[in-house]
Structure 1
Amino acid sequence: MSIDLSRASDEDYRTTRNATAEVAAVPDAVPDVYDDADHGGLAAAKAPLSPIPFPPILLRRSGVYRVDRPIVLPPVPVPIPTPQIPPFPPITPLGASAPDQAGSSTNGQEPHAGTAEDAVAPLVPVPSITPLFGSEELRVDIDGVKPTMTISGTITRLFGGRLTWIARVKKDPATGTWSGPISYRDGNASLRPHTTVTVKLTGGPFLPSNRKATATFSGGTASPVTHTFSFQKAAFRDVAFEYDRVSDATAVTSHNPATHPNRSPSAPGSTLTLETAYSRLGFQVTKTGGDSVIPNPPGSAWSDQEMHDAMQAHWSRWADAPQWAIWVLFARLHDQGTSLGGIMFDDIGAAQRQGTAIFSDSFISQAPNGEVHPGPWVERMKFWTAMHEIGHAFNLAHSWQKSLGTGWVSLTDEPAALSFMNYPYNYPGGLDAFFAAFDYGFSPDELLFLRHAPERFVKMGAAPWFDNHGFEQEAYEQLRAAVTGPLELELRVHREPRFEFLEPVVLELRLKNVSSTPAVVDDNALQGDGLAIVVAKDGGEAKRWLPFARYCTAPAPRVLQPGDAMYASVFVSAGSGGWLVSEPGSYTVYAATEAQSGATAALSRPLGIVVDRPSGTEAERLADDMFTKEVAHVLAFGGSRVLTSANDTLREVAERLPESAAAVHATAALGAPKATDGKVLALGDAGTEVVEVVPADPHEATQLLSASLGDFDRAADSLGHIAVTKQTERLAAAMEDMGDTTARTDLLNASADVLARRGVLPGVVEELRSR
């Protein structure tokens, strides 16, 4: 007997897993020598110093410095009975001038001379206190591994807001100070209105508590101010990793670059783990959990639905709130096949970018023919994939797609970046050329983002994927007019583009070769990172639709002959950024795709859609329950075996609004998981994780899917031709499992007849009929 995991009942289990935490800290010493004269960006690494008998003074001064903002109280009379005690000088508030050596303060006040009355009871100011009314942090990034020559800061005030500022700095050899212009601000700019920062770093190598950063802010209309910050830690961010492995998969969490002869001279020469690979770049990583091995039926592939269910039900750190934590699951294969090497989970609402999965039997385990060192080659690819997907969880885009999102600063695409975020096989010269120069890190722009961007942009569960992406309709129209080529992208519905209130909006994409010669495209052009969709509500903000999962796929060239096309179905009502189409009104949807990495292939004409007002009070009453992240999750992935609350809502929609289009989607999402066996992660009797297979229920699947497809034309209108065909195949399989072959044949023939009447391609119709 197994117990299904629930977030309300497994606190003991989660606490036990967290108790096994291991910490990979950022080293406090500089592992390599860096040239202070190189201030243009990344400093060049030189050969490590040879060991010497006396510890070298290679103090790593990069890290986080902090000063608390005190509340300075006025002096309070405190009687002191001993008249021989000399009076205390007044305490200088932070930022004010200090008394000079003669005892007079620089603000023009005379020093306290003392009288007979003072000798009895001098006035002694009570020292200032530092409650949680504000704090200030300084992030210094001028040495260590891959310094970006940047100093940034975050100011927090309980009653004044928050500000993050960034300055690229250079060192003055004469004074030893680091200074530069403040070029970026996010938040309340009045908290630091100055234009320049100059920082002096002091303190010895042996007592971190003695290290100080004295920062002077000047320029602009404000008077200069100087604050002293105390060293807190070498890590720019703290994050927790947790790994689990399915029993039929292999997990690669470490790799020694020296095991393969094709390596860069600047690559690390010792074993890197996922934790140490990030810790050497400035992250303190806590590894939680015990690397559990989860029994799994052999040969079983994982769907997106099962992956998301597993993350929410199983991960010991799961919370619907921002947190510096990532879950990594090593599974054998995704149900898309061997072309998918890894995936970054993306959820809706607060909990985004928190889970990743690596598929050990995918293309990353297939060394090329003739590879002399296949073992190290495969290990290297699996390690790269894990680092790549975890990078996505930090909100890093692909190297060649920076201009598509993360608009916190102006970033340019880097198709030739030697970074974990680039595809080795897309690098100029190919995979071998990439690893011959790769030093197992990120690009300077990526490190700038990881270490210095406002926390909400980077932290898991905070800002959505590709946060701050902007969309300009006029620019889109100009670009579409300028794009020429063999491919035409169409965004369409097979009906009037008018939707009922509560009806999920499903659109179809068609990418067609309209030229007279064959065209080579990526087979993932309509579902991978090369696809961009924007939804703009009339009078409202334009928002980018972002899928619930990000895929890392191998190149899949496909030849489209003249007149040929490829198709995809897209649920655009909601994505990882929330619900985009929910309120009544008019919307415009735009789509663009890259047929090949780095080259825009086609942009669609805008598609206008309308969402009607509620038809009655029942639909209005159900709206609050319908437009939730859990329901969006279930609709996007075609069902769930663990999100019972969302399933209850969909069941209520089907019961209370049986004639609605929303009921078509509800019964389809409820019935699909019942049609096949499915996996969920659970706790066994011994308290260990197991993969529990939930058996199919053909009888219930037949009831629900029959309700969804009862009016086939209505179902095809709402689900779309692609999705309705898949649901028909599911229903036919459930009927076959029940032994009802006559009903199955009638269903397939009747459905094929309707699709043929609606103009679906003859090949699709005949394939359905032949089943």
Structure 2
Amino acid sequence: MTEACHHLPALFPGVTTLSTITSGVGQTSIGGLMRTQTRIDADRVGDGRIEAGAAHRVEDEPSAVGELDGSYRGNRDSSPGLMELRIDIGGAVSAPRVSGDIFGAAGGTTNYIGSFLMSSPSMTARASGVRIEGEITSTWSTSPEHLEVDVARSATGAPGPAVVRWSSAQAPDGASWTCAFVSTHFRTVAIELDSVAGQVPFASYDLGSLPLPPGELRRVLTVSGAFAEAGIDLRPAGTTNAVASSDAGSNARWSARELHAAMVNNFSRFADAPQWNVWLLVATAFDDPDPVRGIMFDFATGDGFQRQGCAVFNDQVAGTDASTQRAALRTYVHELGHCFNLLHSWEKHVGNPPAPLGPNNGRGDRSWMNYAQNYQPPPPAPGGTAAYWNDFRFSFTAAELVHLRHGFREDVIMGGNPFGTGAAELDPVVFNAPIDDHSGFTLELRTRAVYAYGEPVVVEIKLGTTDTRGAEAVPTLHPQHGLVSIAIRRPSGRVVPYRPMLRRCAEDAPPRGLVPGRAAYDSAYIGAGATGTYFDAPGEYQLRARYIAPDGSHVVSPPIRLRIRPPLTEEDERVGELLSGPEQGQLLQVLGSESPALQTGNDAFGEVIAEHGRHPLALYARLARGFPGRRPFKELTAEKEIRVHPARPDESAALLGEVVQTTKAAGVAGPGLDNVSLNQTMRALAEAEARRGHTGRAHEVLDDIVPTLRGRGVGEPVLQGLTRGVEDARAALPTS
């Protein structure tokens, strides 16, 4: 096979290559330099639901329009300070915008102060230049503020300097900046690419290889080209790297914990700080039963700095035929879009602030951020994969373009605000039960009524149907897949969304037929997520979930309540604190990791086991320490080599065995694992026993799964499916 690194540069073509694009793109000459300017057709704008009106032109000179578009940068005129300005008035989106970021300078340091946005600019074009003005909103605004931007026309025709004047009722004279033209792009992002040896990254796709929507002309598109059409300069950060994998095997599967460790070790620009840098790993396969095409990393060390990296998996996206190449391009752009804080098309109304959904609750968006198989415009238009590609114009929606180009800096920049913007209050109306529901589906959350302080909160998610004819659903119910969202009402009354630390794109997961009495189940640890911990205070909480059905219906569960009990003893308080840190939450989310970046969390779990091993909550520390030890751990080192840490099957079997015994002894109502997690843990225990050479014991554990869950009240239809899963696990047991 050709070495992967030989293909890497094609992912990042130069500006000259981009200037050959001819479809949906206008080329404007500025001083002899050809630049690319994306045009959004009217039928594309409808997906974006943009409310602001177009720019008002007082003295319209078409030659001035659009030639000003791009980014500017300059200093404050009267005191230290810096502005990064973005002008977007040339028709590239349905509603022109002007936006910018303000930075303060003190000594040798520069600090971000805030961002502003002019949503409805008016424009006066004259022979000497163009004036753009309007009211702004900002990250700090407490009163109406007005901005004037005068852009001079240079002798060459290129944009001259932009003079920005700020005024408000409190400061009518305001401040001013002089900003020089920098780029025809609105933002610039450095991407660092690593590829496991033998895994060839996507290079480019010729849009003429397969039929295109009417009016969409043929062009060759790369990942960076797709972002260039959106106004984003995605450029390589130094050299690309091929990762040696001699110790990992050609079919090595990557777990979430291994991917996170790989990013921390290998992303040379990884930092606990917001920065315009992103990491992408081309890997073999993801360690998950669902067909995962890609993952956006939404968790990091410390208290934030998320969305810094993503991975794509070649077992799902690699191939040389045209349809596979087309789908691979969409996957790469889709995962990187998540790093820019773009949600899936059907999730945008649970962001902060919420964004309006596109056609058919977002399922009809013709966007990189939709799933091809889930595409469903309003009936009677056809939906599904074929319809998506018949309609898709290889672009973001207008609203997504506004976010990429003009979203407030911390909402877009990698390492800025968490995915979905943050942990701010969520409008409870989003999770209201529909007035009329003919979807044929039922959704239910289950959990214990009372949890101890610091105890991990796990919910069971059940999707069923009331349709006696049966109904087809995509049964990827974990919130990481994006089809299920969970809202949490805290004791204060504030409602926040649970935001998982990973975003798995299992878009190829096949639908499953459901009939009354045979539901789909999953469980999710929701004690900690991308925005921190959710159950850190004693009191009563309320939970409600929402599932997006294949036809776009929003299926809402009845609300359930749970109570966090205050600590009863000093030991309760200490154990609760040891289980509640941010790294502990990450470890519980990925079921343990050997990553050095999470050593503090592992040390806390070790203290629980060593000093408080008889405490009822110690089983969660044993679970997090025992689960990863059953298998070798792949570490992608800074030297771009895969170092395999051997499995610890004896330790894993001892720890997981105690978890299983404690849960069985406690019963359904006591502290311990839920049924789905217990099933998963018993399979892991069987794997650890087999790996340590105790094959008979491994089969005994598997034989005990169905009787144990039957005794805990699991119904026979579910047990039938579990029986098949047990046999699959038996066939997959390691031989040594």
Q: Same fold (TM over 0.5)?
A: yes
CA distance in 1, matches of 2:163, 2:121: 15
Aligned 8 A contact 2:191 2:278 in 1: yes
Q: 2:476 aligns with which of 499, 520, 524?
A: 524
Aligned 8 A contact 1:365 1:381 in 2: no
CA distance in 1, matches of 2:523, 2:45: 44
Shift of 1:512: 1.7
Distance 1:359 1:182, change over 3 A: same
Aligned 8 A contact 1:506 1:718 in 2: no
CA distance in 2, matches of 1:37, 1:635: 46
What is the percent sequence identity of the aligned residues?
A: 27
Aligned 8 A contact 2:486 2:544 in 1: yes
Shift of 1:759: 0.8
Distance 1:401 1:705, change over 3 A: closer
What is the aligned partner in structure 2 of residue 450 from structure 1? 404
1:273-288 residue pairs with structure 2 within 5 A?
273-288=222-237
Q: Does the alignment pair 1:319 with 2:271? A: yes
CA distance in 1, matches of 2:357, 2:616: 43
What is the aligned partner in structure 2 of residue 692 from structure 1? 643
| 3-state DSSP of counterpart to 2:259 | helix
Shift of 1:333: 1.9
Q: Does the alignment pair 1:586 with 2:537? A: no
CA distance in 1, matches of 2:12, 2:327: 25
Shift of 1:722: 0.8
CA distance in 1, matches of 2:658, 2:38: 68
CA distance in 1, matches of 2:725, 2:387: 46
Distance 1:435 1:31, change over 3 A: farther
Q: Does the alignment pair 1:421 with 2:369? A: yes
Q: Does the alignment pair 1:679 with 2:634? A: yes
Q: Does the alignment pair 1:138 with 2:85? A: yes
Q: Does the alignment pair 1:237 with 2:187? A: yes
Q: Does the alignment pair 1:736 with 2:726? A: no
CA distance in 2, matches of 1:746, 1:409: 52
What is the aligned partner in structure 1 of residue 140 from structure 2? 187
CA distance in 2, matches of 1:36, 1:304: 37
Shift of 1:31: 3.9
Shift of 1:508: 0.7
The AA in structure 2 aligned to 1:306 is: E
1:66-465 residue pairs with structure 2 within 5 A?
66-71=73-78, 130-131=79-80, 134-143=81-90, 149-156=96-103, 162-172=114-124, 177=130, 179=132, 181-182=134-135, 184-190=137-143, 193-194=144-145, 197-204=147-154, 206=156, 211-215=160-164, 223=172, 227=176, 229-234=178-183, 235-260=185-210, 262=212, 265-266=215-216, 269-270=219-220, 272-288=221-237, 289-295=239-245, 296-337=248-289, 339-347=291-299, 349-362=303-316, 364-365=317-318, 375-407=321-353, 412=358, 414-425=362-373, 426=375, 428=377, 429=382, 430-432=384-386, 434-435=388-389, 438-465=392-419
Unaligned runs of 5+ in 1: 1-20, 43-55, 72-129, 367-373
The AA in structure 1 aligned to 2:461 is: L
CA distance in 2, matches of 1:23, 1:701: 48
Distance 1:33 1:761, change over 3 A: closer
The AA in structure 1 aligned to 2:625 is: L
CA distance in 1, matches of 2:35, 2:235: 21
What is the aligned partner in structure 2 of residue 665 from structure 1? 620
CA distance in 2, matches of 1:574, 1:713: 27
The AA in structure 2 aligned to 1:285 is: L
Unaligned runs of 5+ in 2: 1-10, 20-29, 47-62, 107-111, 731-736
Shift of 1:498: 0.9
CA distance in 2, matches of 1:376, 1:30: 30
CA distance in 2, matches of 1:297, 1:258: 37
Shift of 1:62: 1.5
| 3-state DSSP of counterpart to 2:476 | coil
Q: Does the alignment pair 1:608 with 2:554? A: no
What TM-score comes out, normalization by structure 2 length?
0.80
What is the aligned partner in structure 2 of residue 571 from structure 1? 525
Distance 1:386 1:750, change over 3 A: closer
What is the aligned partner in structure 1 of residue 8 from structure 2? none
Aligned 8 A contact 1:674 1:696 in 2: yes
Shift of 1:592: 1.1
Deviations 1:257-280 (A, max 9, x none): 34445466545624x432343234
What TM-score comes out, normalization by structure 1 length?
0.76
Aligned 8 A contact 1:264 1:435 in 2: no
Deviations 1:721-755 (A, max 9, x none): 11111111221222233343554455455554442
Aligned 8 A contact 1:500 1:611 in 2: yes
Aligned 8 A contact 2:123 2:132 in 1: yes
1:468-617 residue pairs with structure 2 within 5 A?
470-473=425-428, 476-477=431-432, 479-480=433-434, 482-493=436-447, 495=448, 497-527=449-479, 528-552=481-505, 553-554=507-508, 556-596=510-550, 598-600=552-554, 602-617=555-570
Shift of 1:674: 1.4
What is the Cα-based RMSD across aligned positions, in Å?
Answer: 3.6
| 3-state DSSP of counterpart to 2:586 | helix
Shift of 1:545: 0.6
What is the aligned partner in structure 2 of residue 718 from structure 1? 672
- Higher Cα radius of gyration: 1
